[in-house]
Structures are given as C-alpha cells and as structure tokens.
A and B are shown apart, each in its own frame.
Chain A
C-alpha cells in the first residue's frame, strides 16, 4: 500500500477532559431547556422519568457508544468513517453531513434571537404583550407561510454576528477553537443556569409549578406515545446518529476511555435536562400564581413560544425580572452556541478530509456559503415557517432515518458490531457486555424504524401545522431531497487524499474475533 505523505497530523483534543466537555457542550443545547420540561410535563409528569431513563440506558447510551466506536476506530468525519467501513457507505456519511447543514441553517437564527433577547431583557422592550412583540415587532412574521426575501434588519445583524463568531471559532480548529470555547462556555452555562434555577425556586408559586411537573400520572405509562416521546427526547437531545459524535470521537487519542467518557456525557446531558425542568416549571408556577390559574391552564410550554413569548411575559411580572431575563437568554445563547459549533464541525471535517482543506479553508468556504444561505432564508419575514418545517423534517425524518440506516447497515449488512464492541472494550475501562449488539442491532432499529414509518405516515397523510402542500413539498420534503441529492453528489466527487490508505487500530487479534466479539 502506498503511503501518502504524512503532511498534516490529524487534529486532536488536548485530552479526555477536553473531549468530554466539548461533547457535553454539544449534547446540551436548546432542546434541553425548551423541549425537555414541556415534553416531560405532557407525557405523564413524574412518571415520564421511567420511560426516559429506560430510553437513555436502552437506546441513547448504546447508540452513543456506536457513534464513538465508529469515529474512534475509523478516525474520520462521517463520510470518511463510513467509506472506510465499506466503500459504498460513504453516501450515508454525506447524508449525515447534509442533515447537519440543514439544521445549522436555522439553529443559527435561534441563537441570534436569544442574543437579541438578552439585550431586550435589560429594558424589557417587549412591553405588555410579549407574544405580539415577538411575532409582529421583532420577527415581523409574514401573514402566510412562504419564502420571502424581505429582510428584517433586527434579525439580520445579530444573525450575521453569530455567524462571524462561530466561523472564527471553527477556523481555529479543534483544540484552539472548539475545545477552548467549550471550556469557557460550558462552565459559564452551568453557572448562569444554576443562578436562574435558584432564583426561580424562590418565586411565589414555584412549588405549584414543581407539583405540576413531578406529580406522576402512572397511567401514562400504558400509552405507547409516551414511550416514543421518551425515546425521541433522548435521541434528539444526545445529538446521536448524525455524525456529531462520530466526528468528535475521531479527534480523541488512540488510547481513550470511550465507554466511561460516554457515560459521563450522557448523564451530564440528562442532569442538565432535569435542572432545566426544575427551573422552567418553577417559573411557570410563578406565572400561574400571578394569573390566578392552574399550571395546567397555561399554554406555550415548549419551543420558541416558551422562550420568546411565555418567558418574557413572566419576566415582566417578576421583581428583578431584567436580571432573570439576562440569565435565561444568555443561557439559551451559550447552550445553543456550543451545539452549533459541533454541527459545524461535522460539515467542516467532511469537506476538510474530502478536499484536503485546512480548518480555516473549510470555515471560509463551506461556512461562508452556509452563512449566506442561512441569512437569506432566516433573516426574512418567513423565517418562522421555514424554521418550523426544516426542524420537523430534519429531525423526525432525517435523523431518525440516518439512525435506522446506520444501525441496520452496521449490524446486519456488515456485521461489524462484534468488532466495534471489541474495540470499545480494548480501549475502555468500562466493559460493554454481550447485550450491546442486541440493543444496537435489534431493539434500536425496531423502535426507531417504527418512529420513522409512523412519523412519515403522519406527515404524508395529515400534513403539518396546516401548511399548504406546496410549502411542505418545497421546504419540508425539499430539505430532505437536498440531503439525499447532496449525499449522492458528494460521494461521486473524487477524494484529494486517498481515505482508504488507513489501518484501524488496535489491530484485530490474530485469528480474528468470535461472533461474540472476543478473542478466539
């Protein structure tokens, strides 16, 4: 085999801790703050803990370890890894890059909103009617769904600022850019958010809010929908199965304690979700108390509505509300930034390896194009509609399809799970048992496959949010079509450096592995 010149060494985290912090920063994102509390509340309250923990242990952590083992053994971005696994699987890697691109486009604008709201909090610019302020004054949402080119300056400039910051970090590379920024941002997020939770707990009505969140409705456990909601929450929250953790683990040193690190990352993510649940519901309890209603009467408990309409309204009613608002929106900004950086690295790494680009070249070229497209699509009056459909299709079709294909391919077509289990156990102190190939190869594809089919069926038969068909076709299914076409086209382009000139390490034991993944 012809050895290519060892021109540049592969980038690396400074060590295990740097990796863990960046991985936690990636997993802890907007969804932890604005999705988990509402989802838990609507799916059995305290009883949700049961399916949630089971989903974490039975699907979340096992698939996280699959990502780690693939990235660490085959040392590359998602396209490189799958190409090295088997030539034709490169397309799956690019499909994952495509998902990341679509998510990046709209994720950036949410961070820009949060950043603007940090500023708005100081003077409580939203006045008496926060919902109207968000939709009409700030976003200037168009009356009908569509794709307009009417740029809203108040969104445009913060969005440009966010793009400049993240592209500079991306250009600085893995250790100087991603790791350093996470080492600043993650502790900052924990401190900001902890302060917010402490403040929230002392609000009038906080106890009522916590009652609403934690009082268990055990009968909810009989509904399959609640279990699916738990799997979905774990899945979207851990940022697994679309290239992020593959990319991040590929920058680990060869000797790295993968399994033990993975447990820390997964439990940190869930710990933050519980903390967010407490903070958000204590605050909602205060709102209910103020309005003399029950928590169950409140609306707008998840997503952008929670953050940008409900919370501002609460902040206005609260003594020292501005301070609380700054804490909340700064937390959202920081949590979003570290997740956005990991999404960008998936894309950057893919292009770097395919075309032999440096981190700076990738940030400038791919990042530059993404910044322009993102600004055109999401600083306009139709941003909210396009964001809503992109988010729905990218996650519930794209990510889940990626997970089903990845687990199915690795487990059944390539029968690679015994090797990957052996790899995890060779480098890690915590052993992965014989159950692992079963949950990754059988349970995960079955559950996720069911979610994919039922999700697609719903989108096809019932549409989404009453959006017109042409809009769903162009933005929803269109985003999906982009991912597929992008994957196929990128696979056909020639590599600058031969990715197949690679020997996995550690080398398999002589005589190979038994089917159970142990030395013969």
Chain B
C-alpha cells in the first residue's frame, strides 16, 4: 500500500472506531438510568 493510503486508512479507523470507543466509554461512565436525581420515579403507564 502507498503511504498516503495507509495514512488515510489509519485516520479513518482512528476517527470512526475511535469515536465508537469514546462513545462506549461515555455511555459506561453514566449510570444505567436517568442521571437527574431530581426526576420522580417512572409514572404508571397512562395508556
């Protein structure tokens, strides 16, 4: 492969797969449910 193609390939992986890794870490850092402790509990379904 040419150097340019390798650089762009690596860049694509870093940006897109790196974005995926960051977004997973970002999700795992947060508690499973809502983050606002002031929110009341889930209401009964009004349907």
Contact = CB atoms under 8 A, between A and B. Distances in A.
Interface of A: 3-4, 6, 9-10, 15-16, 45-46, 49, 53, 75, 207, 210-211, 213-216, 253-257, 260-261, 263-264, 266-268, 270-271, 273-274, 278, 426-430, 497, 501-503, 505-506
B5 to A, nearest CB: 4
A257 B34 contact: yes
Contacts of A253: 33, 42
Contacts of A270: 16, 19-20
A214 B2 CA distance: 10
Given A214-B5, A427-B34, A53 B27 contact: no
Given A4-B47, A255-B33, A264-B23, A274 B12 contact: yes
Contacts of A213: 5
Contacts of B30: 257, 260, 429-430
Interface string B6-45: 1011011101110110011011011111111001101111
Contacts of B46: 3, 501-503
A263 B15 contact: no
Contact of A210 (B9, B33, B43, B44): B9
Given A254-B43, A255-B39, 17 more contacts: A16-B32, A46-B9, A49-B15, A53-B15, A210-B9, A211-B5, A214-B1, A215-B2, A263-B23, A264-B20, A267-B20, A270-B19, A274-B17, A428-B35, A430-B26, A501-B47, A506-B40
Interface of B: 1-2, 4-6, 8-9, 11-13, 15-17, 19-20, 23-24, 26-27, 29-36, 39-40, 42-47
Contacts of A214: 1, 4-6, 8-9, 12
A255 B32 CA distance: 9
Contacts of A267: 16, 19-20, 23
B43 to A, nearest CB: 6
Contacts of B20: 264, 267-268, 270-271
B33 to A, nearest CB: 4
A266 B16 CA distance: 10
